[in-house]
């Protein structure tokens, strides 16, 4: 039985006058024994992942899953999980799943005091930007991103000096500091629309070089790029994908636009993470290979049992820093809090909101 200290809503309101994690009362670390009761109470969750998590691993995971789900109620917390999180997080403890922007937007609608971001640091910052009054936690502060760390706000200021008057469009996979220096943000699904929204002949689209090259094939606007790369997507090669196609007749290859151009050329479909998921669920190919982070195929496979997924496994080491034990620690100890300097936050939020308003 999980033991947690429950507080009344009045106590929570009183505590709410304090700032940061100090406004929430302490709770005890729950029991992590795998009992018959835990097995029974988590059986419906194992049902969701039984095709991708071996039964022998569940007794280790189940006590954490139970404790996290109990503590979410006590803390009035919501867990956001990116599509690249492992199946036990994505399917068993998350309240909202999706790409980074979908997560932050959905979190703004949630009646929660606390957001636990199961993803990387720039995603937690975006959640904080769109949810300034909520306590945003990331279970491992070290969960970074090769793309986000390829550029700084100072780099963007230098680009503006070098290309005066050229609009700066920043991919959401960037720090708040970089977003703050931008005219507008974009995602991989709306990048073409955002770039064309200025009505200018040249636009800076940073920092993902391959996304910029992909967008350049879809528009007449001249795109200036930055040499940032996602360390997961840049590892795929056209040769390996063609070899998979030859070995698996009828295989459909679905790529993310952060992949190198020669990889996109051999793909049957290219789209954002949510676009890839939609394509697979709508088309239901007999065999599919998702050219993206490894866990996403596992997460979709758990929901689409009829599809044979071929999986070249490129894991994101940053995403994999988030684990069930760290999520539980995060909820118990309210760590690590994600903050954004208010002056930076106002400008970064404006760049994100310009994109959201453009979309609608
Ligand atoms: S998958 Fe790539 S873009 Fe996403 S967090 Fe990992 S390194 Fe960054």
265 CA to centre of ligand 1 in angstroms:
21
pLDDT for 360: 54
* Atom number in ligand 1 closest to CA 119: 5
319 CA to centre of ligand 1 in angstroms:
7
pLDDT for 1: 35
Compare 304 and 336 and report the one with higher pLDDT: 336
* Atom number in ligand 1 closest to CA 173: 3
**Residue ranges of E strands in 38-126:** 77-82, 96-98, 114-118
Determine which residue's CA is closest to atom 5 belonging to ligand 1. 145
Indicate if the pLDDT at residue 11 is higher than 70.
no
Ligand 1 pocket mutation pick from 231, 272, 315 by most atoms within 8 angstroms of CB: 231
Indicate if the pLDDT at residue 221 is higher than 80.
yes
* Atom number in ligand 1 closest to CA 208: 3
Indicate if the pLDDT at residue 6 is higher than 50.
no
Per-residue pLDDT tens digits for 98-146: 988 888 888 888 889 999 999 999 999 999 999 999 999 999 999 999 9
Sheet with strand 269-270: strands edge to edge: 269-270, 251-255, 287-291, 308-309
Compare 269 and 6 and report the one with higher pLDDT: 269
Report which DSSP code applies to 29: P
Q: Which of 344, 296, 336 is nearest to 320 (CA)?
A: 296
Determine which residue's CA is closest to atom 3 belonging to ligand 1. 230
pLDDT for 12: 41
Per-residue pLDDT tens digits for 26-48: 999 999 999 999 999 999 999 99
pLDDT for 70: 98
For residue 136, the number of C-alpha atoms closer than 13 Å in the C-beta half-sphere is 27
* Atom number in ligand 1 closest to CA 316: 6
Q: With contact defined as beta carbons under 8 Å apart, do 337 and 135 qualify?
A: yes
Indicate if the pLDDT at residue 178 is higher than 50.
yes
* Atom number in ligand 1 closest to CA 233: 2
Indicate if the pLDDT at residue 15 is higher than 60.
no
Backbone angles phi, psi at 97, to 5 degrees: -125, 155
Indicate if the pLDDT at residue 148 is higher than 60.
yes
H helical segments located in 131-170? 153-162
- pLDDT category of residue 20 using cuts at 50, 70 and 90: low
For ligand 1, residues with CB inside 6 Å are 84, 120, 145-147, 173, 230-232, 293, 316, 318-319
Q: Please give the Cα distance from 140 to 123 (Å, whole number).
A: 12
* Mean pLDDT, all residues of the chain: 92
Q: Please give the Cα distance from 270 to 279 (Å, whole number).
A: 10
**Average confidence (pLDDT) over 310-332:** 95
286 CA to centre of ligand 1 in angstroms:
28
356 CA to centre of ligand 1 in angstroms:
22
pLDDT for 359: 56
Per-residue pLDDT tens digits for 46-72: 999 999 999 999 999 999 999 999 999
Sheet with strand 168-171: strands edge to edge: 184-186, 168-171, 202-206, 222-224
Determine which residue's CA is closest to atom 6 belonging to ligand 1. 316
pLDDT for 283: 94
284 CA to centre of ligand 1 in angstroms:
26
pLDDT for 105: 84
- pLDDT category of residue 265 using cuts at 50, 70 and 90: very high
The pTM (predicted TM-score) of the whole model is: 0.90
Percent of the chain having pLDDT more than 70? 94
Ligand 1 pocket mutation pick from 100, 150, 257, 316 by most atoms within 8 angstroms of CB: 316
Indicate if the pLDDT at residue 262 is higher than 50.
yes
Indicate if the pLDDT at residue 165 is higher than 60.
yes
**Average confidence (pLDDT) over 12-31:** 68
Q: Locate tokens 């997080």: which residue?
A: 89
């Amino acid at each position: 039985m999980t033991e947690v200290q429950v507080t009344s809503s009045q106590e929570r309101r009183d505590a709410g006058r304090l700032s940061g994690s100090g406004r929430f009362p302490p709770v005890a670390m729950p029991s992590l024994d795998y009992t018959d009761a835990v097995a029974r109470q988590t059986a419906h969750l194992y049902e969701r992942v039984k095709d991708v998590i071996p039964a022998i691993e569940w007794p280790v995971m189940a006590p954490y899953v139970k404790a996290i789900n109990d503590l979410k109620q006590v803390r009035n917390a919501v867990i956001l999980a990116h599509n690249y999180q492992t199946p036990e997080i994505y399917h068993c403890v998350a309240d909202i799943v999706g790409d980074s922007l979908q997560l932050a937007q959905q979190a703004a609608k949630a009646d929660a005091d606390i957001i636990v971001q199961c993803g990387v640091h720039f995603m937690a910052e975006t959640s904080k930007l769109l949810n300034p009054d909520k306590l945003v936690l990331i279970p491992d502060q070290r969960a970074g991103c090769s793309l986000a760390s390829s550029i700084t706000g100072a780099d963007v200021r230098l680009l503006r000096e070098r290309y005066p008057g050229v609009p700066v469009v920043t991919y959401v996979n960037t720090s708040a500091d970089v977003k703050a220096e931008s005219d507008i943000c974009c995602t991989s699904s709306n990048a073409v629309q955002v770039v064309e929204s200025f009505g200018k002949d040249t636009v800076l689209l940073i920092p993902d070089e391959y996304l910029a090259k992909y967008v350049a094939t879809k528009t007449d606007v001249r795109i200036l790029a930055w040499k940032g790369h996602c360390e997961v997507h840049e590892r795929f090669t056209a040769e390996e994908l063609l070899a998979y196609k030859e070995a698996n007749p009828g295989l459909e290859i679905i790529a993310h636009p952060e992949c190198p151009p020669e990889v996109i050329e051999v793909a049957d479909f290219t789209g954002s993470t949510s676009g890839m998921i939609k394509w697979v669920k709508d088309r239901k190919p007999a065999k599919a290979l998702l050219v993206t982070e490894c866990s996403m195929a596992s997460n979709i496979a758990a929901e689409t049992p009829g599809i044979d997924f071929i999986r070249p496994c490129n894991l994101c080491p940053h995403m994999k820093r988030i684990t069930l034990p760290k999520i539980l620690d995060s909820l118990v100890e309210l760590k690590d809090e994600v903050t954004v300097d208010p002056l930076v936050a106002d400008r970064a939020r404006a760049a994100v909101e310009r994109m959201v308003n453009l979309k609608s």
